[in-house]
């Protein structure tokens, strides 16, 4: 099997549990994505799920037999199947998790193969719930969902809002398969050999900026940059999966729309809009990560409502510009006690130059941490899946070797977490 050596799922053993929600029709897409990412995938399908999705299709996509309820006590097996599968898996992915399977799991029932696997497994469980809106909001279901989140190693993916198969508009859609794949990748990107499910950002709020800003020149033209926004989005999702409440303020992005699910998104275009969003959201944040690539210049006068003739373009480009205020400096100056700020600096040059320029910027801007990352090296930076650089703080500089942006996101979250300054309590 050809795989991308960079993917954190390469060679990992994933058990996909499929229960009886109509969202099961999306599971083949998920299984296919996980296999393409290099994971070894096996599937367990409940009787009701087998009425909705073909076990033969899942077996074909996973390159393994699909386990059904009747296989649970196969007389040819020397050990109970649910024990074999539970011990084999490095991560269990429940996609979808129906109300019935959620109820069994929350109450500790071993009624069925999948239910028994969930009781026997000791690895993390990534749970993507899916059901009708009324069912999702029923007090019993909410209690069950809250209860399983207290189990060790459980990472929840709440259903999203949209048009459901029952024609109802509301919460209940299973998280997009691309987001489930990203979540699985995130659990294997914490820097340990095993999947890491600790929700150590629980109770914290993170404010992240991502993507470029866009300054209009006229109705057709604009000043912007090559930022895809992937670093900021992955930082936001990594934090969300670790339990944080996340606000993402972003310009135009070049990432899968599914990566924005579960985040509180605040789309902007100009630096002025970004500044306004920061002033509104910063007071509630425990940490701020300024990953957006803000344009350095903007027009003094408002952009014309019409496209300017080409003959007038040179004149317009030559005059009437002003510097965009340094937003990171403003965020650092406004931060409340206990709030930590991470800045980013896209730089060029060798490592010594990066460290020197980055440290100058960190001191000038007043942030707690600053990632100085090169954009003139092949295979990293803008529009690339990998990044690295120097993480600068008052205590010194730490080299962060080139790695996946998802792994880098977790490294940055760990660094922010190490800087929490407790707010003194008054007597």
pLDDT of amino acid 147: 97
Terminal C-alpha separation, the chain: 64
pLDDT of amino acid 300: 87
CA-CA distance, 130 to 156, in Å (whole number)? 12
Tens-place pLDDT, residues 106-161: 999 999 999 999 999 999 999 999 999 999 999 999 999 999 999 999 999 999 98
CA-CA distance, 181 to 31, in Å (whole number)? 9
3-state secondary structure of 271: helix
Tens-place pLDDT, residues 267-294: 999 999 999 999 999 999 999 999 999 9
Tokens of 196: 């890491």
Active site residues: 166
3-state secondary structure of 279: helix
Burial (CB count <10 Å: 0-12, 13-18, 19+), residue 425: exposed
Identical fold, 13-187 and 205-417: yes
What Rg do the C-alpha atoms of the chain give, in angstroms? 24
Q: Assign a CATH topology to domain 13-187.
A: Rossmann fold (3.40.50)
Tokens of 204: 């914290």
Tokens of 273: 């809009």
Q: What is the model's pTM?
A: 0.92
Q: Return the DSSP state at 283.
A: G
Domain ranges of the chain: 13-187, 205-417
pLDDT of amino acid 424: 47
CA-CA distance, 12 to 289, in Å (whole number)? 31
pLDDT of amino acid 165: 81
pLDDT along the chain (427 residues), means of 10: 61 97 96 97 97 96 94 77 95 97 96 96 97 94 97 95 81 93 96 90 96 89 89 97 97 94 95 96 96 90 81 80 93 94 92 92 96 87 86 93 94 93 48
Q: Assign a CATH topology to domain 205-417.
A: Rossmann fold (3.40.50)
Percent of the chain clearing pLDDT 70 (strictly above) = 96
Tens-place pLDDT, residues 298-309: 888 887 787 888
Query: What DSSP string describes 329-361?
Result: HHHHHHPPTT-EEEEEEEE-S-HHHHHHHHHHH
Give CA separation, 46 vs 17, 118, 302, 426, in Å: 8, 13, 60, 56
């Amino acid at each position: 099997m050809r795989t991308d050596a960079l993917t954190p799922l390469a060679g990992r053993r994933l058990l996909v549990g499929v229960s009886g929600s109509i969202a099961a029709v999306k599971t083949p897409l998920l299984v296919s994505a996980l296999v393409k990412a290099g994971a070894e995938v096996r599937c367990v399908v409940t009787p009701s799920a087998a009425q909705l999705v073909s076990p033969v299709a899942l077996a074909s996509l996973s390159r393994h037999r699909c386990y059904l309820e009747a296989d649970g006590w196969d007389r040819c097996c020397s050990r109970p199947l649910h024990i074999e599968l539970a011990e084999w898996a490095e991560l269990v992915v429940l996609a979808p998790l129906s109300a019935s399977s959620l109820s069994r799991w929350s109450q500790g029932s071993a009624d069925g193969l999948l239910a028994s696997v969930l009781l026997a497994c000791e690895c993390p469980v990534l749970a993507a719930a899916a059901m009708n809106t009324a069912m999702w909001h029923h007090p019993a279901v909410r209690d069950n969902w809250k209860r399983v989140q207290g189990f060790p190693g459980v990472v929840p993916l709440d259903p999203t809002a949209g048009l459901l198969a029952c024609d109802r508009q509301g919460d209940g859609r299973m998280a997009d398969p691309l987001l489930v794949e990203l979540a699985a990748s995130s659990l294997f990107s914490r820097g340990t050999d095993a999947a890491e499910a600790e929700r150590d950002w629980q109770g914290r709020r993170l404010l992240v900026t991502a993507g470029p800003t866009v300054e209009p020149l006229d109705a057709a033209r604009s000043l912007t940059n090559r930022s895809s926004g992937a670093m900021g989005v992955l930082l936001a999702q990594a934090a969300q999966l670790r339990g944080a409440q996340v606000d993402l303020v972003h310009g135009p992005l070049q990432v899968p729309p599914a990566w924005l699910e579960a985040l509180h998104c605040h789309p902007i275009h100009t630096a002025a809009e970004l500044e306004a969003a920061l002033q509104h959201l910063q007071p509630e944040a425990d940490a701020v990560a300024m990953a957006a690539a803000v344009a350095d210049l903007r027009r003094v006068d408002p952009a014309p409502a019409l496209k300017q003739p080409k003959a007038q373009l040179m004149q317009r480009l030559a005059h009437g510009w002003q510097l965009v205020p340094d937003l990171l400096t403003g965020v650092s100056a406004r931060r409340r006690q206990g709030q930590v700020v991470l800045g980013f600096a896209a730089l060029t040059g060798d490592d010594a130059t990066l460290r020197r320029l980055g440290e100058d910027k960190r001191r000038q801007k007043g942030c707690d941490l600053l990632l100085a990352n090169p954009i003139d090296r092949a295979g990293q930076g803008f529009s690339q899946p990998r990044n690295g650089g120097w993480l600068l703080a008052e205590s010194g500089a730490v080299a962060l070797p080139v790695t996946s942006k998802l792994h880098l996101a977790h490294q940055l979250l760990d660094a922010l977490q190490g800087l929490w300054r407790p707010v003194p309590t008054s007597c």
